[in-house]
């Protein structure tokens, strides 16, 4: 369903529903004593897109209910939601915001990391090795302010927030805050520089917290127009 409004924006809404069945021969990812299972999911979901001359947003929500054939105590709702928005604050200034939320019991919710990197490079990949079907959720929020002050000169200032919560204490709850900055400046048509800096504060439920600072610098040389 697409609606064009004379006020200068276009709205698109796309509902959908899908049914799928998954077979696993190792439900709990064990080295021995594997247990097989059939899992059926029913997923009503939607995507919405609003685009204007100076702002826009995309949102998707994909709830699904998982039915376990032998282990029905794991039957539950899964939720995935994404939000991406942008606004042109001025001719050379842009604001971008994004949020990704996941609630599931599936230990392999991110099976293809390469695909995730292509779809959303800013998304944090959880590398925790899970061997249970207990519920957990995570959320990643990001905001970036970009300003171009020259033909090729620009500065990006942003903030990223990440949260991981688990139903069981087997796995660590985690919360991170990460402000960052990136600046590119060309001294001449052929010579330029790029500097970047980020600070990460990580708070763990069971382990020691940590602070992590990253700084980078690059010298840039343009040989031809291409």
Q: Per residue in 172-219, pLDDT tens?
A: 899 999 999 999 999 999 999 999 999 999 998 877 888 999 999 999
pLDDT at res. 225: 82
Residue 7 has pLDDT above 70, yes or no: no
Q: What tokens does 73 get?
A: 């105590």
Phi, psi of 132 (to 5 degrees): -130, 170
Whether the Cβ atoms of residue 69 and residue 38 lie closer than 8 Å to each other: yes
**Bridge partners, 181 (sequence order):** 157, 197
pLDDT at res. 169: 79
- Ranges 16-25, 67-76, 151-160, 164-173: which has the least confidence: 164-173
Alpha-helical segments (H) within the chain: 113-119
- Give percent above pLDDT 70 in the chain: 91
How far out from the chain centre does Cα 160 lie? 10
pLDDT at res. 121: 66
| 203 to 28, 68, 191: CA distances (angstroms) | 28, 35, 41
pLDDT band at 101 (very low <50, low <70, confident <90, very high): very high
Residue 90 has pLDDT above 70, yes or no: yes
Residue 79 has pLDDT above 90, yes or no: yes
pLDDT at res. 5: 62
Q: In what order do the strands lie in the sheet with 154-166?
A: 2-5, 9-24, 37-52, 55-68, 76-90, 93-104, 136-148, 154-166, 174-186, 191-204, 210-221
pLDDT at res. 206: 76
Mean pLDDT of 50-58: 93
Residue 96 has pLDDT above 90, yes or no: yes
Task: Kindly report the pTM of this predicted structure.
Answer: 0.86
- Give percent above pLDDT 90 in the chain: 71
Mean pLDDT of 62-68: 96
**Bridge partners, 189 (sequence order):** none
| 85 to 14, 26, 93: CA distances (angstroms) | 18, 39, 14
Mean pLDDT of the chain: 90
CA dihedral over 118, 124, 127, 130, signed as positive or negative: negative
Question: What 8-state DSSP symbol labels residue 72?
Answer: G
Residues in the chain: 226
pLDDT band at 54 (very low <50, low <70, confident <90, very high): very high
pLDDT band at 126 (very low <50, low <70, confident <90, very high): confident
């Amino acid at each position: 369903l697409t609606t064009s409004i004379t006020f200068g924006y276009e709205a698109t809404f796309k509902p959908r529903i899908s049914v799928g069945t998954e077979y696993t021969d190792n439900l709990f990812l064990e080295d021995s004593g594997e247990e097989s299972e059939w899992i059926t999911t029913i997923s009503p979901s939607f995507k919405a897109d609003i685009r204007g001359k100076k702002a826009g947003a995309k949102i998707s929500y994909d709830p699904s209910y998982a039915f376990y054939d032998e282990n029905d105590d794991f039957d539950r709702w899964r939720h995935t939601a994404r939000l991406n928005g942008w606004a042109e604050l001025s001719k050379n200034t842009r604001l971008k915001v994004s949020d990704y939320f996941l609630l599931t019991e599936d230990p392999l919710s991110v099976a293809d990391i390469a695909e995730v990197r292509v779809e959303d490079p800013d998304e944090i990949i959880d590398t925790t090795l899970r061997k249970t079907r207990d519920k957990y959720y995570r959320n990643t929020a990001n905001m970036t302010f970009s300003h171009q002050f020259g033909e090729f000169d620009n500065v990006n200032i942003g903030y990223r927030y990440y949260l991981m919560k688990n139903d069981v204490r087997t796995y660590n709850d985690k919360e991170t805050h990460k402000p960052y900055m990136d600046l590119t400046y060309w001294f001449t048509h052929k010579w330029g520089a790029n500097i970047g800096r980020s600070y990460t504060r990580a708070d763990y439920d069971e382990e020691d917290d940590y602070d992590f600072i990253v700084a980078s610098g690059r010298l840039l040389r343009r040989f031809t127009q291409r």
